[in-house]
Amino acid sequence: MSQTIGIDLGTTYSCVSYLEGNEPKVIPNLEGMQTTPSVVSFTSSGEKLIGNLALRQAITNPQNTIFAIKRNIKKKFTSREVQEARKKIPYELAEAPNGDVMVQVDSNTISPQEISAMILGYLKKCAETFFGDEVIQAVITVPAHFNDHQRQATKDAAQIAGLEVLRVINEPTAASLAYGLETKKDATIAVYDMGGGTFDITLMEINEGIFHVLGTNGNSYLGGEDFDNRIVSWLIEEFEKENGVDLSDDKLALQRIKEAAEKSKRELSYTLETEINLPFIGSDKSGSKHLKKIITRTKLEELTKDLIQETFLYIDQSLTDANLDADKIDEVILVGGQTRMPLIKELITDFFKKKPIERINPDEIVAMGASIQTAIIKGTLKDLILLLDVTPLSLGIETEKERFVKIIEKNTTTPTKQTMAFTTVEHDQRRVRVHILQGESENIRENISLAVFDLVGIATAPAGVPQIDVTFEIDADGIARVSAKDLTTGREQSIEVRPTSGLTPEEIHSIIRRTREKESE
């Protein structure tokens, strides 16, 4: 009998879990560690390394060692975030024909979905080794503020890895499930989730086994990587001041500095200062140069405090959306490795007037919650009755003058069904085009296009007379069905909105076939 697992596919580290009885347990990777670096490396001999083995290649093979790929899944190559990232990473990014980001490895381009699939495939292998049995089904977590295209891309990555996705759930929601099962008490909680690449705040009410998400907000491009990059920039500036050598274009030096920056950041969670010592990091006519610098916790806080303060803008908005005051929050749960930073804990305590809970490992709680969701889906866990999640972004349609009209507002509990009446803008108009979008801006160009369909055969009438009802329906899996109906003729047209990941079904099947052929060699 095949096993079912919960997976936290993280930006910097990933984790896999299963449910033993009513208790979630973390599955160790093939090296016996609880978490796995989300890193893939391609060697000169054509070998593909994943996890810790890949991480060890970061210094010696920086151009072919891919990390933090989750930040670029379904991102446009020309976006500001991607162009900024290109300055700080040692590997090359390229533009796909549809404008998405691709990774350049030698003469080949690889999609972020394929890189993610390699990591998921490794986690699947770890679980199968642990169980001594096949693993086919999984619940996979994503940042709460991922849009529908990013969620679909994650599902496609799982399909390439040979996994059937039972459900994609939000990372803070998964953490709430793990907390609720562990405490078994009713509460209104806030989940502050800052991992390597993303930030989410989710407010949730737990009441007699019902988990009701009240609101969520966040930024899918704000996380621990940004803290690392602040240290990297500081070190490069200090080195240039002292030695007159600019290391920003030296990919090998850049990777060494990045690795040292991340290490120092971690150490400063437990000590007040640490030394960064990188010999032979650069050179000029006078000879080799060494980077040796003391960084204090105070300096780190000075470099990154604005990043932390930015998260409180999302917290304020989430509380407003949920019609809650901070003093109504009973517990604050910290999720993600970056929340180990003392300043984050201090500012959270000041804001909510209570210390956050730290007894649950922030690196493992999301995967544990995902494994609990597998049991909820299968009906094998009776302690938890129902999970009511919300839409992270608004859904609606384009109207005249390229305006976006929201039909389902963000933070609406799912499943849900909403209808709004529209009309024609031209006399004797026989056709209406329904353009479905996701986002928060009134300008359609600042939102995400999901689908387009036409309602034809509308009864001829003066502009403004016909009534056309547009209905959005979202099920528990987050799949949206949109219909448009002319009330005069009864004509109706509908579409199931399944966002593209940027890969066609044929491309996905081709990747799966190539992967299997390589594995059988």
Task: Please indicate whether residue 124 is annotated as part of the active site.
Answer: no
Contact 291, 276 (CB under 8 A): yes
The per-residue DSSP string of 408-445 comes to: E-TT-BSSEEEEEEE--SSTT--EEEEEEEESS-SBGG
Identify the helix (H) or strand (E) that includes residue 316.
Answer: helix 297-321
C-alpha closest to that of 37 among 47, 29, 45: 29
88 class by beta-carbon count within 10 Å (0-12 exposed, 13-18 middle, 19+ buried): middle
End-to-end CA distance of the chain: give it in Å, rounded. 27
Catalytic residue chosen out of the listed positions 193, 228, 363, 364: 193
DSSP secondary structure code for residue 495 in this structure: E
Cα dihedral across residues 10, 15, 18, 22: positive or negative: negative
429 vs 400: CA distance, rounded Å: 14
Q: How far from 334 is each of 91, 141, 192, 217, 363, CA to CA, in Å?
A: 32, 16, 5, 15, 10
Residues whose CB falls within 8 Å of the CB of residue 297, separated by 6 or more in sequence, listed in order: 268, 271, 272, 273, 342
148 is catalytic: no
Among candidate residues 8, 114, 363, 389, the one labeled active-site is 8
Residue among 70, 74, 258, 345 flagged as catalytic: 70
Q: Which residues contact 404 (CB under 8 A, 6 or more apart)?
A: 396, 397, 398, 437, 439, 441, 442, 443, 444, 447
Exposure class string for 303-324: b at 16+ Cβ within 10 A, else e = bbeebbeebeebbeebbebbeb
The answer to whether the CB of 251 falls within 8 A of the CB of 208 is no
Is 477 one of the catalytic residues? no
Task: Judge whether 200 counts as a catalytic residue.
Answer: no
Q: Which of 100, 171, 200, 225 is catalytic?
A: 171
One-letter amino acid at 503 equals L
- As annotated, the active-site residues are 8, 70, 171, 193
